[in-house]
Amino acid sequence: KASIILTTYNRPELLKRSLKSALSQTFKDYEIIIVDDCSGVPAEAPKGVRLVRHKLNMGLSAARNTGIKAAKGKYVVCLDDDNELMPSFLQKTVDNIGEYDAITTGRVIQYKNYAHNVVPRLSKFCPIDWGWLIKREVFDKIQYDEQMRANEDTDFGIRFHKKFKATVISD
């Protein structure tokens, strides 16, 4: 029902933490696809996880698009290797997406000795990055712009909000 697209490039320790969060979901009807953007990390995928490798470093947008094209789920969530999902993320978002095209939750921004809880506010300039559950059919109409090497999530968010509806769970 859901596909987690985990993108990585040269950060094996971060990838382990991020992958652990993906594997710890309480919702069980999902797949994990790791897209390695030409770093050779990991050497192989854990059992039940698909690994797709780029032969050239193409950037985050291309890595996300590659994973989305490989996804089999009705819903897609992108997860960068330096982020984590709470164990109940898929359960809460799948249960609450309803008529919306995308849904996200609050986040905990963790610094060395400081944590800050943030609930995204929707606007026409709201980035759509990691931690958004998005209906797969959205990607038939828009993708991440592979020419962009920065701010690709804001660009995608602007284009998304022109055509689609989103909501936020303030949890």
Q: Look at residue 110 in the predicted model and tell me its pLDDT.
A: 84
Q: Tell me the pLDDT tens digit for each residue of 45-93.
A: 999 999 999 999 999 999 999 999 999 999 999 999 999 999 999 999 9
Burial of 4 by CB count in 10 Å (0-12 exposed, 13-18 middle, 19+ buried)? buried
Q: Tell me the pLDDT tens digit for each residue of 134-162.
A: 999 999 999 999 999 899 999 999 999 99
Closest C-alpha among 105, 106, 109 to residue 95? 105
Q: Tell me the pLDDT tens digit for each residue of 103-126.
A: 999 888 888 888 888 888 898 888
Q: Look at residue 118 in the predicted model and tell me its pLDDT.
A: 86
CA angle 154, 85, 49 (to 5 degrees): 100
Closest C-alpha among 22, 27, 132 to residue 35? 22
Q: Tell me the pLDDT tens digit for each residue of 1-28.
A: 999 999 999 999 999 999 999 999 999 9
Task: Return the structure tokens found at 30.
Answer: 């999902």
Q: Look at residue 108 in the predicted model and tell me its pLDDT.
A: 86
Entry pTM: 0.95
Q: If you ran DSSP here, which 8-state letter would residue 45 be given?
A: P
Sheet-wide strand order for 2-8: 49-53, 30-36, 2-8, 75-80, 132-135, 102-105, 166-169
CA angle 165, 78, 70 (to 5 degrees): 105
Contact (CB, 8 A) for 57 and 74: no
